[in-house]
């Protein structure tokens, strides 16, 4: 088990992001969505036929598993008291993540970051606009994800 400590405000933001993410992966977009494309990338960029076949076989399952992972994160965040507009919103809340749910957390935070990066048009490591608050959200998620990876790595026996 690892412990993730967030302020209630952070937990509220994360719950919002995960809800939006769930809607995205459960949706049926009429137009190609670059963010969904990124979550289900081309396996054969040089072979359109093989790529189409691979995607038709794997895409539904991949997105279904993203929704499943996100539901695990959502349930954990539901255990935190909702925001009430007082100073309590800044108080820390501990989330205990059992070993068998760590990957679901890591994959979900990663996938949410991939979607945000797609929406922001991040194409290189230098793409960063400090005046755009969405980059703040992106960086914050990266910081929390890195902390979770370190906590998860510390569980390894070797």
Give contact residues for other proteins (rule: CB under 8 A).
Answer: 38-46, 54, 58, 62, 65, 103, 106-107, 110-111, 113-114, 117, 122-125, 127, 142, 145-146, 149-150, 152-153, 156, 158
The 10 Å CB-count burial string (b at 16+, else e) for 34-58 is: ebbeebbeeeeeeeeeeeeebbeee
**C-alpha span between 80 and 67 (Å, rounded):** 21
Q: Which is nearer to other proteins, 73 or 80 (CB)?
A: 73
Shortest distance, CB of residue 126 to other proteins, whole angstroms? 8
Considering the complex, state which of residue 28 and residue 154 has its C-beta at the smaller distance from other proteins. 154
Q: Tell the smallest beta-carbon distance from residue 140 to other proteins (Å).
A: 13
Nearer to other proteins, 18 or 93 (CB): 18
Letter string b/e over residues 62-88, b meaning 16 or more CB atoms within 10 A of that residue's CB: ebeebbebbebbbebbeebeebeeeee
């Amino acid at each position: 088990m690892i412990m993730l400590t967030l302020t209630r405000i952070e937990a509220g933001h994360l719950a919002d992001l995960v809800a939006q993410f769930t809607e995205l992966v459960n949706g049926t977009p009429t137009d190609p969505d670059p963010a969904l494309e990124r979550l289900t990338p081309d396996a054969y960029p040089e072979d359109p036929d093989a790529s189409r076949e691979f995607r038709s076989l794997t895409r539904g399952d991949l997105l279904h598993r993203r929704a499943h992972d996100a539901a695990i994160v959502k349930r954990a965040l539901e255990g935190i008291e909702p925001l009430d507009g007082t100073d309590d919103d800044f108080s820390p809340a501990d989330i205990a993540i059992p070993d068998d749910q760590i990957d679901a957390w890591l994959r979900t935070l990663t996938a949410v970051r991939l979607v945000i990066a797609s929406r922001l048009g991040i194409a290189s490591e230098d793409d960063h606009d400090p005046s755009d608050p969405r980059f703040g959200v992106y960086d914050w998620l990266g910081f929390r994800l890195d902390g979770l990876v370190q906590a998860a790595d510390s569980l390894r026996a070797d």
